[in-house]
Amino acid sequence: GESVGLHLPTLSVQEGDNSIINCAYSNSASDYFIWYKQESGKGPQFIIDIRSNMDKRQGQRVTVLLNKTVKHLSLQIAATQPGDSAVYFCADIPGGKLIFGQGTELSVKP
């Protein structure tokens, strides 16, 4: 069945450094992935998505990389800021319903 998992439950970075959050997936047929940010007491918020016909997609300060060979994707956040502190989820979306991983909690030290 589908599963999406993350490598690390927590990540602590210094303000201004770059952050990299990793995610592995198991379903070779997965063709669309989304990264979400969830702040305490709030629902998940869309950050960026990528389709399987792409290797890389860039947004504002964020980049998602997709390696279909090893079924791995990563979220890179440039110049991490205190406001980036949150839990980050990758999600697969088979048939329209989101399948989330467990999440990585990002802490930004001032």
Partner 1 sequence: GAGVSQSPRYKVAKRGQDVALRCDPISGHVSLFWYQQALGQGPEFLTYFQNEAQLDKSGLPSDRFFAERPEGSVSTLKIQRTQQEDSAVYLCASSLYPADEQFFGPGTRLTVL
Residues that bind partner 1 (CB under 8 A): 41-46, 89, 91, 95-103
Choose between 54 and 98: whose C-beta lies nearer to partner 1: 98
From residue 106, how far is each of 26, 50, 72, 82, 103 by CA, in Å? 24, 21, 19, 10, 9
Sequence-separated (6 or more) residues with CB below 8 Å from residue 33: 23, 25, 49, 50, 64, 66, 73, 90, 91, 92, 93
Choose between 64 and 91: whose C-beta lies nearer to partner 1: 91
Choose between 61 and 100: whose C-beta lies nearer to partner 1: 100
Give the pair of three-digit tokens for residue 95.
């048939």
Least distance CB 98 / partner 1 (angstroms): 7
Least distance CB 54 / partner 1 (angstroms): 17
Least distance CB 78 / partner 1 (angstroms): 23
Give the pair of three-digit tokens for residue 105.
């909690």
